[in-house]
Structure 1
């Protein structure tokens, strides 16, 4: 492709942590430990849920799928981050960059929707307990999980194509740790306001709508819990919901900061910090959040692991 003053980019260079080369070995060790911990923590949670008969309920079915989604989500970015730190070469082919963004967005939206499904499950369990076994049957649970995975695919693939239809006529260096829309918009030439607007609209639809659904669900859940007569019943209900609510706040909070800010307010350092938070720290914390506050998971864990 040849146009006046436009050079077709065949690869990008992720600058990552190239500004602190002396910390290369330390960073590689930290990210390797984090990645292995994510794999072990979420993998162990999946095994516990699959093998323990007491955990064969819709809530744990969704949690097992959520843990698998976390493994897939973090595997899109962390292995390449480790490779870039080790080799000190951040080059990524144009097509690989597009695949990474597309995968990241599809899995990210699937996580948003699955968190909304988990909120609906808690709503039915607490607000309509007598109808819970009928409503949340296995067939519906499977359909909700499949819908969470595939609903956002067409739109996110479209957004990815939209981003990579831009002209990149300047530097091909991305001051980021993985391919993402904000750093790509910075190196694109011409007016990118329309593209930026479309990304914001996409974010509002697929991030804010699930978040509003979760918020409404929890308003109804908390209202119902406060009406419960027994203190022990309130405590148990709050306990089962608090873990999910913490995960929701962490994921949606950091994701909204990254994708809903205008391009002019983005800074490379803040983007890296927030991106690391929702792609590595949150998947690392989620097994702890869901297990340490859950007596059933702790009891199942004690049966598997030695004291």
Structure 2
């Protein structure tokens, strides 16, 4: 395997109210890093581990997650930096050290992230609701790439081109699309099940009828089929991107969902945050975290949302609507306490 060194930045990660955690109770940030290689995440103990000694304990570690393909591994000379951020204007506090990670020791860090001294206090870095904000950076972690090319195109390696070509016909409102069944099954678990099971009529007819399904259109399905062939997705506009994401998620094309999420995060604004959150609610990852963080930063976003936006959100996602109501009351109570 080819090996190069990489640096991974773990975005800002917020714990909940510190008082809700007991000693030794961890919370984890989303994992970041390239697929098929080493990834990282923060494991934070807001009330400290059992080995923490400071009177206001805070423990934090970086955990290295290896690719599923290897069981025995070791990464030496990996530099880890964990920063404690302040929401009160204090200078960030950073702690750094070089560690060795392995399958026997996957997480390294500090039981007392900052034991404190005469010049500063941990309370100054705790939010008004008892939370902490942390950020981490990991350097000199190996990047693994298989010689055969470890990418989202990897499933194509196992295609048997001696098989007779089978064309799948998609019937859609306004027209038809045609695609190679082998390529489709290689990139989508949804179509793999559909086209190999006798329980599905599509496996016999080689036709998939979306003519009465308003969610699948010529435009978004064309974008999905182009991605299957080229591994490229080009953002056109917010509506198209969310439409492609919804259908790609339904078709179990995870790599495209993740790609669209990156684009949507770049497009995220106060004007569209509720629209995006409604489309992705129930998923996990950086995009959903960014949406909630934006709402937390400005309580007026929800209060000033247009009525048609709120009506559409309630109709599309009642569970999110209930969560936003609770969130809105909580934000109102926080502002009242601060005033």
What band does the TM-score fall into relative to the shorter chain? under 0.3
Q: TM-score, normalised by structure 1?
A: 0.26
Q: Which has the higher strand share?
A: 2
Could you state the TM-score of these two structures normalised by the residue count of structure 2? 0.24
Q: Which has the higher helix share?
A: 1
**RCO higher in 1 or 2 (8 Å CA, sep ≥ 6)?**
1
